Amino acid sequence: MRTATTDPIVPEWSTPDQPTATARQLALALARFEVAEVEAWRAELLDAVAELAAAAGTSWRFGTGDPTIALVRAAAVLAGHTPDVAGPRTAIVVAALGG
């Protein structure tokens, strides 16, 4: 028989040794590309924007327009309001964009 544990659930799933990137770094990396060029990284960009929004404690939503444009816009807004919020998934996108 297995016993249940009452240990608290750790809300932060990243480990301290993972590289992170800030919202400012993401916005600067995205600024070097046309929106159509960012399309290839849309799934990773979605992860990064969701991670940054959660870390910043802000809500964000998609409009009815192009999802890539909405993600780039959300990244720019996050960089303007909370430029130092960071995360490891954001680092993956920044590295993929050559930043």
pLDDT at 65: 80
Sign of the torsion angle spanned by Cα atoms 28, 34, 35, 38:
negative
pLDDT at 15: 57
Q: What is the pLDDT of residues 19-51, one digit of tens each?
A: 999 999 999 999 999 988 999 889 999 999 999
Confidence of residue 61 (pLDDT cuts 50, 70, 90): confident
pLDDT at 94: 94
Confidence of residue 82 (pLDDT cuts 50, 70, 90): very high
Confidence of residue 54 (pLDDT cuts 50, 70, 90): very high
CA–CA dist 22, 40 (Å, integer)? 21
pTM, two decimals, is 0.78
Q: Where are the domains of the chain?
A: 21-96
86: helix, strand or coil? strand
